[in-house]
């Protein structure tokens, strides 16, 4: 019989673990519907994968049918998050992959990295507390806690863009748009205008005026200045 403690976790299950970890951190219940939307799969597919994950001791399902990470599940989720985020830095800083492409590229590589390489990456990139998009490495959540959702800014308020939420990183066009307009973590801005009827927010950086849809704004966090 296979020992579930040493059985290899598949890339698909690692993707589930990463999403479950992020939902748990944000205190959002991990329902089948939420998972299906975030992973772009059907609800029955989520149900089947959840069953395998319960069998392998990675999650439990509570009475409300929410998936909860077990200790083993969380440990593996933290490992995949670290591998993902550290690989993003490696791609960006060492291989000069454009910022907007590091997430997707890392997503394809992260599953192949061993514990040993994860350790080496951590040593190589030993000072970072976030990924290149500003999301906290597991254990560094405190570091980002004072960054507020951009949606809470009012016209005239100034800030520094700090973070594009993990789930926003999945929107390649949003990342490309931000990169093209130089609206990246660390860049200062002033909120110029919010038009609820038009679902837009316009911010001004030193370089230019940028209009964002409120659905994109929902993924952005900034530091008030
Ligand atoms: Zn990413
Ligand atoms: Zn990232």
pLDDT tens-digit series, residues 179-205? 999 999 999 999 999 999 999 999 999
pLDDT of residue 2: 47
Residue-wise pLDDT for 131-161, tens only, equals 999 999 999 999 999 999 999 999 999 999 9
pLDDT of residue 127: 87
Q: Is residue 40 a part of any domain in this protein?
A: yes
Ligand 2 centroid – CA 2 distance (Å):
34
| Structural domain count, the chain | 2
Cα 209 to Cα 91: distance, rounded to the nearest angstrom: 29
Structural domain boundaries enclosing 179: 148-224
Beta-bridge partners for 193: 202
Question: Could you identify the residue written with the tokens 């973590």?
Answer: 185
143 part of a folded domain: no
155 belongs to a structural domain: yes
**Rounded to the nearest whole angstrom, what is the distance from the C-alpha of residue 63 to the centroid of ligand 1?**
32
First to last CA, the chain: 59
Residues 122 and 28 in one domain: yes
Gap from CA of 87 to ligand 1 centroid (Å):
9
Dist CA 95 CA 166 (whole Å): 22
Give ∠ CA 50-52-55 in degrees, rounded to 5. Answer: 110
Lookup result for tokens 């590091």: 102
Q: What is the CATH number of the domain that holds 102?
A: 1.10.10.10
Domain boundary among 103, 132, 161: 132
Residues with CB in 5 Å of ion ligand 2: 88, 131, 133
**What residues of the chain score a pLDDT lower than 70?**
1-7
Report the chain's mean pLDDT, rounded to a whole number.
95
And the tokens for 2? Answer: 């296979």
- Residues 127 and 156 both lie in one domain: no
Q: Is residue 154 part of a domain?
A: yes
Q: In the prediction, which pLDDT does 7 show? A: 61
> Token pair of 210, please?
């940028």
- CATH number, domain containing residue 192: 2.30.30.90
Same domain? 69 vs 98: yes
């Amino acid at each position: 019989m296979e020992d579930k403690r040493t059985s290899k976790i598949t890339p698909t299950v690692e993707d589930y673990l990463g999403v479950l970890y992020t939902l748990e951190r944000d205190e959002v219940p991990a329902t089948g519907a939420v998972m299906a939307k975030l992973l772009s799969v059907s609800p029955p597919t989520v149900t089947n994968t959840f069953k395998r994950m319960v069998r392998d001791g990675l999650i439990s399902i509570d009475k409300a049918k929410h998936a909860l990470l077990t200790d083993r599940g969380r440990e593996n989720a933290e490992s995949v998050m670290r591998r993902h985020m550290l690989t993003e830095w490696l791609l960006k800083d060492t291989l000069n992959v454009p910022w907007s492409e590091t997430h997707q590229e890392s997503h394809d590589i992260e599953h192949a990295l061993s514990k040993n390489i994860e350790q080496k990456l951590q040593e190589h990139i030993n000072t970072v507390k976030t990924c290149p998009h500003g999301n906290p490495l597991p254990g560094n959540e405190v570091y980002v806690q004072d960054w507020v959702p951009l949606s809470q800014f009012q016209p005239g308020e100034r800030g520094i863009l700090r973070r594009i939420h993990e789930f926003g990183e999945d929107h390649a066009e949003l990342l490309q748009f931000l990169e093209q307009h130089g609206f990246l973590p660390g860049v200062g801005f002033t909120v110029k205008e919010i038009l609820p009827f038009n679902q837009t927010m316009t911010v001004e950086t030193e370089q230019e005026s940028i209009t964002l849809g409120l659905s994109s704004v929902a993924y952005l966090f900034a530091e008030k200045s």
